[in-house]
Amino acid sequence: MSESFEKLQNRILSDARLKSASILKEAEEKASKIVEEARARARREADELIARAKVDAEALRRSILSTKVRANRLRILEEKNKIIQSVISSVEERLTTLGKSGDFQDSLKMMVTEAATAVGSDQLVVRVGFPGVSKKDLDSIGNSLPKGAKLVVEDNPIDQLGGVIASDPKGRVVFNNSFRARLDRMETQLLSMISSTIFGV
């Protein structure tokens, strides 16, 4: 009996070893599969993170580039504006010396006629004033005024650059034909002309 018990015991041990080896192999396969799945999931997540980081980095690069481009454009515009303002200042300076030119009387008559026509009153009041021009030089324009018009010669230039202001006697209708007002009225055209001449825009 002891021999059959030993055989039985060996058989049970052999079956247990086989079963244990089978369970161990199955566990190793499951563990290997779980590890592979975890690695694949980790790779996918890492790839997704890298892809998102690349997209974010590209967006940041474009934003920085766009900011630099805008800053450079703003600097260029500022420099262009300085040049344009310099040209306008030069024009204003030349206008202050117009009273000393030979064409002054013709320009003055034209400005007075424009202002008088714009107001359209029989009893016109015309104020004139230019830098560096004497009252005597300005009094001569009185002969070209319509009948009933009153000429007022100012001691100081009108609007700093000089010019003509016409109004009705009560001051309800006023037309400012000073150099400053003319420049203001033509500002858009002047800026466009100066820009296209200097910058070719």
Q: Using one digit for the tens of pLDDT, what is the confidence trace for 60-102?
A: 999 999 999 999 999 998 998 999 899 989 988 888 887 777 7
- What superfamily would CATH give domain 101-199? ATP synthase, E subunit, C-terminal (3.30.2320.30)
Query: How would you class 197 by CB atoms within 10 Å of its CB: exposed for 0-12, middle for 13-18, buried for 19 or more?
Result: exposed
In 119-146, which positions are buried (b, 16+ CB within 10 angstroms) versus exposed (e)?
A: bebeebbbbbbbbebeeebbeebeeebe
Q: What is the mean pLDDT of the chain?
A: 86
Question: Looking at this protein, which amino acid is placed at residue 123?
Answer: Q
- pLDDT above 80 (res 141): no
Average pLDDT over residues 164-188: 89
Q: At 167, is the secondary structure helix, strand, or coil?
A: strand
Residue 63's pLDDT is 92
- What are the backbone angles phi and psi of residue 2, rounded to the nearest 5°? -65, -30
Residue 2's pLDDT is 66
Closest CA to 148 of 106, 120, 188: 120
pTM greater than 0.85: no
Structural domain spans, the chain: 1-96, 101-199
Closest CA to 128 of 107, 102, 148: 107
Q: Give 14-25 pLDDT, tens digit per residue.
A: 888 888 888 888
